[in-house]
């Protein structure tokens, strides 16, 4: 694809430049021409007649007499502005992002357009913030680009470019490149506060807390750079994540002693640190400072407080804050945390509230732990249909339940509703899926078949226990004894008694009536 910026600057100043760049516009080419197929003569004539001047001269200040088709066509010939050019370049780069050679080729073709105007290059980097790997390709292209001595000053990278590169390297988990860019900026004398902050953020993102704090100490010793609010925010965030609350509070105190005013990010990091250590009183204290101080809470603050109150189990305050921002909440982790809070609560209407929140979670946001939690909720609420649906989804997504408590909840729900067929189906699928097998599963089936006097199925249950290496216990013997006794199967009663004697189990008092 040949874009208009392939032309030289000299050609761009010519009167034909606007026509050339329009005809090279890929959208125009796609809609109105095809180099591989001949054009329809009739369409060409229609286009020519369409462009002929009208017999009635329209008002130049009005577009009422100009057809919509003419307006569309005129817009195609309208020169593209700088933002449009950068947008097209970004799309081209994203299309070949996986091919470094193609990326370099496109950048080389547009080098005059990019390097000739520094704001254009910065605009390109800004639009690639969400593509750290591709942004690094652009940064490295600029670093390694060979230029003449006269262009060296014009081509030299500036501090904020290094900062963006360091940040992108950190996001790409390439900490060695981040350090190399920092040292390069230092060597060229363009190291500033934002350069320090970028590397500290890269260390923090990659879990290198010690190096992050060590760089902070180095920065405080550097006479050419001074820590900013963003610098202290990074350090506060690091200590909060490490649950080093004393260090976090000491850093905040040090910040207040300097002529640096904490911003909303500072308070959010403090709240996050208190939540991570379950210090609910301090969490609420910071929130009250925001409500009464010059710094106002933002959406992240409210989401943090929802999370905190959800973990605390204070549903009233959680719901109060959620009601303020629910129209703008699209944060799935927060929705899941709220569902978890309802599942663990004794709220009488928690089932309906959970169902309402589940509608906000798209299918692609499936989480195994949440599915298992819902299974338990439906089992305890005696909602067999919803429980079966959740269980089926777990099987389909190959979620494996290994918790004894969850299995017992499921079994109890089936037993409570005398749903022996559903329990049998669940047992077969659980064995194949590798779920946790337990005595309660088979004992419940024995009791249910015993109440139906279905001795054949009871015997099948015993064989199932043997197939999964679950030994018969004293409780198993008692269940079998009572079932055979109620069915009048004296021979089987004696056989069970013999097994109980053999294994040293207690024999029922009424086994030998006088």
Query: And the tokens for 23?
Result: 């005809």
pLDDT for 383 equals 93
Question: Which backbone phi and psi does 457 adopt, to 5 degrees?
Answer: -70, -30
Q: What is the mean pLDDT of residues 321-347?
A: 92
Q: Residue 389: pLDDT above 60? A: yes
287 by Cβ neighbours in 10 Å (0-12 / 13-18 / 19+) ranks as: buried
Whether the Cβ atoms of residue 301 and residue 271 lie closer than 8 Å to each other: yes
pLDDT at 368 over 70: yes
Write down the pLDDT at residue 90: 87
Mean local confidence (pLDDT), 370-377: 95
Residues in contact with 393: Cβ distance below 8 Å, sequence separation at least 6, in sequence order: 366, 371, 399
Q: Given pLDDT bands bounded at 50, 70 and 90, which one contains residue 328?
A: confident
Averaged pLDDT for residues 476-481: 87
Residues 6+ apart with CB under 8 A from 129: 135, 164, 168
Q: Is the pLDDT of residue 329 over 60?
A: yes
How far apart are the C-alpha atoms of 302 and 323, rounded to whole Å? 10
Structure tokens that stand for 257 in this block:
């002693």
pLDDT at 53 over 70: no
Which pLDDT tens digit goes with each residue over 165-208?
A: 999 999 999 999 999 999 999 998 889 999 999 999 999 999 99
- How sure is the predictor about 154, in pLDDT bands with cuts at 50, 70 and 90? low
DSSP letter string over 202-255? HHHHTT-HHHHHHHHHHHHH-TT----HHHHHHHHHHHHHTT-HHHHHHHHHHH
Which is more confident, 293 or 155?
A: 293
Residues whose CB falls within 8 Å of the CB of residue 373, separated by 6 or more in sequence, listed in order = 339, 340, 343
DSSP string, 372-395: HHHHHHHHHTT-HHHHHHHHHHHH
Q: How far apart are CA 22 and CA 200, in angstroms?
A: 46
Confidence check: pLDDT of 279 > 60: yes
pLDDT recorded at residue 89:
85
Output the CA torsion 364→370→376→378 (10° steps): -40
Does the pLDDT at position 513 exceed 90?
no
Over 60: is that where the pLDDT of 160 sits? Answer: yes
For residue 391, what pLDDT is reported? 96
* Alpha-carbon span 170 to 179, nearest angstrom: 9
d(CA 125, CA 135): 6
Q: What is the pLDDT of residues 93-149, one digit of tens each?
A: 888 888 888 888 888 888 777 776 667 778 888 888 888 998 888 888 888 776 554
Under 8 Å between Cβ of 200 and 188: no
What integer is the mean pLDDT of 327-350? 92
pTM, to two decimals: 0.74
Q: How many CB atoms lie within 10 A of CB 33?
A: 10
Reduced to 3 states (helix: H, G, I; strand: E, B; else coil), residue 53 is: coil
Give residue 151's pLDDT band: very low, low, confident or very high (50, 70, 90): low
Q: How far apart are CA 3 and CA 418, in angstroms?
A: 73
What is the pLDDT, as a whole number, of residue 32?
38
């Amino acid at each position: 694809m040949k874009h208009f910026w392939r032309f030289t600057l000299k050609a761009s100043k010519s009167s034909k430049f606007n026509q050339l760049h329009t005809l090279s516009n890929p959208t125009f080419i796609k809609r109105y021409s095809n180099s591989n197929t001949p054009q329809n003569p009739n369409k060409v004539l229609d286009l020519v007649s369409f462009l002929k001047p009208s017999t009635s001269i329209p008002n130049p200040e009005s577009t009422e007499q100009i057809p919509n088709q003419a307006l569309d066509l005129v817009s195609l010939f309208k020169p593209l502005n700088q933002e449009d050019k950068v947008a097209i370049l970004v799309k081209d780069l994203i299309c070949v992002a996986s091919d470094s050679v193609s990326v370099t080729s496109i950048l080389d073709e547009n080098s005059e357009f990019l390097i000739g105007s520094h704001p254009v290059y910065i605009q390109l980097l800004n639009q690639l913030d969400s593509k750290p790997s591709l942004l690094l390709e652009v940064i490295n292209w600029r670093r390694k680009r060979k230029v003449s001595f006269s262009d060296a000053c014009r081509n030299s990278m500036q501090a904020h470019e290094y900062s963006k590169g360091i940040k992108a390297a950190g996001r790409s988990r390439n900490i060695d490149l981040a350090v190399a860019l920092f040292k390069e900026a230092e060597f060229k004398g363009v190291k500033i506060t934002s350069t320090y902050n970028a590397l500290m953020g890269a260390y923090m993102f990659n879990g290198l807390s010690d190096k992050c704090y060590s760089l902070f100490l180095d920065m405080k010793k550097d006479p050419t750079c001074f820590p900013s609010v963003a610098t202290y925010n990074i350090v506060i965030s690091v200590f909060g994540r490490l649950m080093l609350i004393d260090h976090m509070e000491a850093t905040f105190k040090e910040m207040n002693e300097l002529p640096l005013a904490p911003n909303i990010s500072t308070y959010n990091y403090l709240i996050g640190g208190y939540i991570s250590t379950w210090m609910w009183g301090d969490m609420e204290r910071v929130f009250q400072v925001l409500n009464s101080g010059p710094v106002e809470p933002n959406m992240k603050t409210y989401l943090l407080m929802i999370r905190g109150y959800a973990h605390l189990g204070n549903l009233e305050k959680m719901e109060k804050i959620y009601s303020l921002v629910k129209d703008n909440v699209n944060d799935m982790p927060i929705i899941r945390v709220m569902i978890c809070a309802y599942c663990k609560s004794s709220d009488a209407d928690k089932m309906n509230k959970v169902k309402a929140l589940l509608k906000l979670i798209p299918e692609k946001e499936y989480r195994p732990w949440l599915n298992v939690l819902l299974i338990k909720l439906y089992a305890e609420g005696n909602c067999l249909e919803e429980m079966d649906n959740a269980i089926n989804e777990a099987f389909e997504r190959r979620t494996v339940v290994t918790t004894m408590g969850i299995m017992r909840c499921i079994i109890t729900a089936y037993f409570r509703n005398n749903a022996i067929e559903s329990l049998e189906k669940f047992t077969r699928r659980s064995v194949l899926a590798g779920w946790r097998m337990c005595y309660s599963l088979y004992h419940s089936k024995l009791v249910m078949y015993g109440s139906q006097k279905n001795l054949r199925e009871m015997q099948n249950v015993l064989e199932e226990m043997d197939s999964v290496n679950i030994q018969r216990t004293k409780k198993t013997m008692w269940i079998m004894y009572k079932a055979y006794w109620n069915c009048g199967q004296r021979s089987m009663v004696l056989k069970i008694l013999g097994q109980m004697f053999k294994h040293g189990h207690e024999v029922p008092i009424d086994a030998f009536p006088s």
